[in-house]
Every structure is written in structure tokens, then in C-alpha cells.
């Protein structure tokens, strides 16, 4: 079974631009979560989507948004990029059968560099 | 604030030794606990999950959970150089998954 895929793998943008990242979950997985990983802050939760609805949201500004499509694929968008948005953005998918035992599987990530 | 704490390391052990990685969490309502391994430049990969108090063994890995002490650990027996990575502890309740900052492990040949 194919794993979680993310595109693009690498991205370079300049301040003020916007960016859209894409994530395709493992087949059959209904939940997609997004994380930002930086050396200083570690892995930080951005948001989770389930059945095309945002089910949970982390503590990030409104410049970070996302959506999920009917086939469970998800996109996240960052508008008005800042230098501090440079990070590895990870997508994780899960079956979402049981909230307490749900296991997340990570994609390879998108490395975003903001110049 | 719900927190997950790990010693950042680096933790260095000789090849063949037991590596012990520790994690504490603040939210008593936490239900599920996971250990992920992350190699440099790669994404986290799941090693173990544990949901009830006690030990859970999988090959060279043993996860230990003590909910009363809000403590979860990972033991790696017969450590190999290929085990050198950052190990992330993750904790979930019914809302979200929170990660510790990770412990960097180096296994020296």
C-alpha cells in the first residue's frame, strides 16, 4: 500500500508570497493532520481535517489555512509568507476509526524556504 | 498548557548496549502514547504505540507506560549504529497529538 505523499518536496519563496502544499493520504485513511517542524520549536500541530471538515486547530495565525477534498486529499495554504515560516511541513494521515488508538503515518514532508 | 517533555540529549551509547529514552507528560487525560523515530532529513516513522500501563515489547524495542507517574519510556536493546536518530514521544487525548522535542540518540560502533 502506498504511503503518504506530499508535493512539492522542496519550495523556495520570497516574503509576502503565498504557497500551497498538497498531501495525499494512505488509501482508506480519512484524517489528515498538518505539522510544522523547525529546529527551535520541534513538531507543532497546525490542523486536522476529517470528512472535509477542520476537526482541530493548533495555535497558528490565520495566514495558515487548509482544506480537505472528498477523496481525503488535503492542501494547506500559507499567505503573506514570513521568514519564520521556513520549515519542514509534514502531513500525517490516519484511519480515524478510534480517537484514542488512532495512529498517524507521516509523509516525507515539504521543505519550505522563505527568502 | 499540555506539555510533553523529553531530554534533548544527545544520548550516546556503545553498540550492543541498552538505550533508555524517557518522556513525561502533563495531561492526565492522555490516552495514547507513541514513539516515533526520525532520521536526519527524514520524516518521523512509528516505532511503537502503547495504551495501557505496563510494558509492550516489539523486537529490540520495549515501551513502558506508567499513567500514575505520567511517564512513558522506550528501551532499545542491543543498540545498533542504525538506531542513531532522534526519538520523538507523542501523546494524544481526544483532541490532538502533541510531540516532545525529541531525544537525539547516537550509537557508537
**Angstroms from A113 CA to nearest CA on chain B:** 14
Of B34, B96, B102, the CB nearest to A45: B96
pLDDT less than 70: residues of chain B: 1, 94-95
Query: In chain B, helix, strand, coil percent, each to 5?
Result: 5, 55, 40
Nearest CB neighbour to A100, from listed B90, B94, B102: B94
Q: Distance (Å, rounded) from C-alpha A62 to C-alpha A100?
A: 28
Contact B92 A102 (CB under 8 A): yes
Burial of B40 per CB tally in 10 Å (0-12, 13-18, 19+): exposed
Which residues in B lie closer than 8 A to residue A106 (C-beta atoms)? 36, 43-45
Give the list of residues 6+ apart from residue A111 with CB closer than 8 angstroms, or none.
A9, A10, A11, A88, A89
pLDDT per position as a tens digit, A68-103 = 999 999 999 999 999 999 999 999 999 877 766 778
The proportion of chain A whose per-residue pLDDT surpasses 90, expressed as a percent, equals 80
Residue A48 has pLDDT above 70, yes or no: yes
Q: In degrees rounded to 5, what are phi and psi of residue B83?
A: -80, -10
Residues in A 18-37 with any Cβ partner in B closer than 8 A: 33, 35
Residue B40: closest CA among chain A residues belongs to which residue? A39
Distance CA B105, CA A76 (A): 32
Query: What pLDDT does B9 receive?
Result: 80
Specify the pLDDT at position A99: 66
Q: So what's the pLDDT on residue B95?
A: 66
Residues in chain A within 8 Å Cβ distance of B34: 103-104
Chain A residues near residue B51 by CB distance under 8 angstroms = 100-101
User: What is the per-residue pLDDT for A103?
Assistant: 85
Which residues in chain A have their CB less than 8 angstroms from residue B36's CB?
106
When CB atoms are compared, the residue of B43, B45, B51 closest to A109 is B43
Best mutation target among B38, B65, B89, B97 (most A Cβ atoms within 10 Å) is: B97
**pLDDT score of A14:** 97
pLDDT at A29: 93
pLDDT at A52 over 80: yes
Residue holding cell 524495542? B61
Predicted local confidence at residue B101, as pLDDT: 92
How close A82 gets to chain B, by Cα (Å)?
22
Amino acid at each position: 500500500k502506498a504511503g503518504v505523499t506530499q508535493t512539492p518536496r522542496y519550495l523556495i519563496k520570497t516574503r509576502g508570497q503565498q504557497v500551497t502544499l498538497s498531501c495525499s493520504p494512505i488509501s482508506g485513511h480519512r484524517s489528515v493532520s498538518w505539522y510544522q517542524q523547525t529546529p527551535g520549536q520541534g513538531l507543532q500541530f497546525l490542523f486536522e481535517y476529517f470528512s472535509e471538515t477542520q476537526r482541530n486547530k493548533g495555535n497558528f495565525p490565520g495566514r495558515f489555512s487548509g482544506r480537505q477534498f472528498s477523496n481525503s486529499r488535503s492542501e494547506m495554504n500559507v499567505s503573506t509568507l514570513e521568514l519564520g515560516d521556513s520549515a519542514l511541513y509534514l502531513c500525517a494521515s490516519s484511519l480515524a476509526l478510534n480517537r484514542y488508538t488512532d495512529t498517524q503515518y507521516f509523509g516525507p514532508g515539504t521543505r519550505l524556504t522563505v527568502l | 498548557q499540555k506539555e510533553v517533555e523529553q531530554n534533548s540529549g544527545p544520548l550516546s551509547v556503545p553498540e550492543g548496549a541498552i538505550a533508555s529514552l524517557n518522556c513525561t507528560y502533563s495531561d492526565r487525560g492522555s490516552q495514547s502514547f507513541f514513539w516515533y523515530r526520525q532520521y536526519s532529513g527524514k520524516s518521523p516513522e512509528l516505532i511503537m504505540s502503547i495504551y495501557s500501563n505496563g510494558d509492550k515489547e516489539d523486537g529490540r524495542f520495549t515501551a513502558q507506560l506508567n499513567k500514575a507517574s505520567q511517564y512513558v519510556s522506550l528501551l532499545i536493546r542491543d543498540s545498533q549504529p542504525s538506531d542513531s536518530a532522534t526519538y520523538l514521544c507523542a501523546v494524544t487525548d481526544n483532541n490532538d497529538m502533541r510531540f516532545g522535542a525529541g531525544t537525539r540518540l547516537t550509537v557508537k560502533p
